[in-house]
Structure 1
C-alpha cells in the first residue's frame, strides 16, 4: 500500500456495462499501481460484477480532496448512475447516456488538471447508435469534446506503432477522404506527439501507400503519386522525418521496421491486422493530438466473456502502464 499526494491520478471509464470493461477494470484494481485509479461508473454495477467474479474489492467513494492512494484490492469510484440495471451480455441502449456521461466527466477532469490521464475500457458503437446518438468511435468523440481539429489513432505494442490516416469509415470512402491537407495534418500531429508524449527526439515515420504496390508507378492507381507523395514532400520541407509511400505488404519487414518509430497506414484494416497479429491483447490505443493523455485497450466489448472470469485484462494493464509512461515523459 502506498499513499502520496504526488501519485499520478488516472481516471478510467468502464465502458459498455454489459461488456468486459468492468471486468478488466476490476482485474486492474487487484494490482498495486504507482498511481491512484479512479473509475467513473455505476457503483452498484461495479459491486455486482465484483461479486459475480468472486473479487473482494473494496470500493471507496472518490474524493478529490483526500490523499491519493494506491492499494491492491481497492478502487476509487466516481459514481455515474445508469438508467437501468446492467448485467453481463444484456445490452441496454438506455445506458448509453451513462457511458457517454462518464467519458465527458473524465475528459473534463483531465482538461482541468484533476486527473493526469484517462484510460478507456471498450464501448460498443452499435449500442450507442441504437440510443439515437451519432457515434463513430472513442477517438472522434474525444476530439469533439476537446474541440481538437485533428486527432490521430495510434496503436502501439512495444516498439511497433501504427497510426491511421482515416479511422472508422467505409473502405469505399477512403480514397476520397485522403487528401494532401489531411495527410500533412496527421504527420504534423504524429511528429509533435512522438516527440512530446513518447520522448522520441527525432521520430522516423514510414508511410504506407494506398494501392497495392503503392500504385505500381500509377498502373494500380494514381493516389500514391498525386496525393501521398506531395504530402510527404511538404512534410519533409517542414523538417518532419518521413519516408514512403511504401507498399503495405512489405513495409513491416525488419529492415524498414528497425528504422521506423511509427507507421502511418491509410485506413483501419491496412495497418492494424499486422499489429494485432503480432501482439493482440497486449497492444494499446493512444489518441494523438489531444490536449490530454488518453490510452485504451486494443479490443472490443466481448459480450460473450463478460462476467465469466475469462476476459484477458492484459491490454487494459498495458493501457494503464502506457498512460503512466506518458505521464512520466510529460
Structure 2
C-alpha cells in the first residue's frame, strides 16, 4: 500500500515540538510521508537540536509565515503567532485533502494568549477553523477511549457545566465517534461521577442524582451501552491485553489526565473527534525545560502519527463504501 501524506505542525517554536517534528520527518513510521508546517527558522533550529541536517528536510516543509526570532524555553507572542499560522495552513491543506491527516506538536496556551488567540487550545481552535459545531477531546490508551465533558476551563466552573443535556451529548458524541471515526462498534461507555463517593446520595453534591444518572438512562434508552455514574478509579483501571475495549466519559480535564498519564505515560494519544479532518497529537506539552537537552522522547509523536494513519484508513474505508453506493468521489492524499 502506498504511503499517505500526514501533516505535522511544529507546535510552539520555543518548545520541543520542532525537534520532535524533525525527528519524525527524518525517520517516519512505515507507510507515512510527513509534511511539516511551520517557519523555516523553527525547523532549522529544531533539526540542529535533534542532530539532523536541516537541508535534508527542506523538501518536507510547507513554510508558514511567522517571526524568525523566537525565545526558546518560555512562552512568547512570537511563538504563539508562529504556531497559529502553522495550524491555519495545515488545516487548509487538510480541508483540500492535500494531506490525509494532521498531527499537531504541542503548543503553549500562554503563547496563544500573548498572541491574542481567542482559543485556549488546539481543540477549540480546530473546531472554529473547520466550522465544526460539536467536537470532543478523546484520549486513546490501551483498552480505553476517554472523552472529556469539559476541557480548558477552571475547575470551579465544572459543576455548572454538568447537566443531563451536556452529559448525554458527550456520551452520544463518543458513541458516534467510536463507530464512525474509529470503526469500533458496540463499545460500552462508562460515565464518571463528579463528587467524592459519588455524592454519597446527595450529601456531597447532587450532580450524580440530578444530571449524570438521568443522562445515562437517556443514553441507554437510545440504544447506547452506557453505565454510571462510577468512580474514576474504576472506569480508568488499567486494561490487560485481551480485555474488552471500553469508552469513558470523564467530567473535567485532570480527572482523566492525571491518572491516565501516570498509568500510560507517553503511550497515549489525543484525538479530536467531530472534525471533518483527522487530527491527533501526543499527550505531552511543550516541555520548555527539555529543549535541546536530547532527553525529549519522540515516542508520543510517533504514536500520534500511527493513530492518524489508522484513523485515516477508517475514514477512507467509509468513503469508499459511500462511493460504491453512489454518493460521490474525492481526491485521496496518497
Relative to the length of structure 1, the TM-score reads 0.89
Counterpart for residue 42 of structure 1: 39
Counterpart for residue 115 of structure 1: 99
Counterpart for residue 204 of structure 1: 188
- For 2:81 and 2:236, the matched residues in 1 are separated by 40
Structure 1, 194-203 or 310-319: larger mean CA deviation: 194-203
Q: Which runs of 5+ in 1 are unaligned?
A: 62-75
Counterpart for residue 138 of structure 1: 122
1:300 aligns with 2:285: yes
Residue by residue, what CA displacement relative to the aligned partner does 1:236-294 show, whole Å, maximum 9, x if unpaired? 12211111010223333469994552111011111111211111122110111111110
**Aligned pairs for 1:162-201 within 5 A:** 162-201=146-185
Q: Which runs of 5+ in 2 are unaligned?
A: 316-334
- For 2:239 and 2:124, the matched residues in 1 are separated by 34
Counterpart for residue 10 of structure 1: 6
CA contact (8 A) 2:100 2:278 kept: yes
Counterpart for residue 26 of structure 1: 22
Alpha-carbon distance, 1:234 to partner: 1.4
1:325 aligns with 2:310: yes
**Aligned pairs for 1:142-161 within 5 A:** 142-161=126-145
Alpha-carbon distance, 1:327 to partner: 1.3
Relative to the length of structure 2, the TM-score reads 0.88
CA contact (8 A) 2:171 2:219 kept: yes
Larger relative helix fraction:
2
**Aligned pairs for 1:245-284 within 5 A:** 245-253=229-237, 258=243, 260-284=245-269
**Aligned pairs for 1:212-231 within 5 A:** 212-231=196-215
Instruction: Find the residue that maps to 1:210 and give its secondary structure.
Output: coil
- For 1:38 and 1:303, the matched residues in 2 are separated by 24
Counterpart for residue 59 of structure 1: 57
Instruction: Find the residue that maps to 2:84 and give its secondary structure.
Output: helix
Residue by residue, what CA displacement relative to the aligned partner does 1:171-199 show, whole Å, maximum 9, x if unpaired? 11000012122122211111111112222
Residue by residue, what CA displacement relative to the aligned partner does 1:84-120 show, whole Å, maximum 9, x if unpaired? 4235325431342221111111112212212111000
CA contact (8 A) 2:3 2:32 kept: yes
Instruction: Find the residue that maps to 1:320 and give its secondary structure.
Output: helix
* Residues matched between the structures, number: 312
CA contact (8 A) 1:162 1:272 kept: no
Counterpart for residue 244 of structure 1: 228
Structure 1, 91-100 or 224-233: larger mean CA deviation: 91-100
- For 1:201 and 1:250, the matched residues in 2 are separated by 22
CA 29–254 in structure 1, closer or farther in 2 if over 3 Å, else same: closer
Instruction: Find the residue that maps to 1:89 and give its secondary structure.
Output: coil
Instruction: Find the residue that maps to 1:249 and give its secondary structure.
Output: helix
- For 1:185 and 1:220, the matched residues in 2 are separated by 25
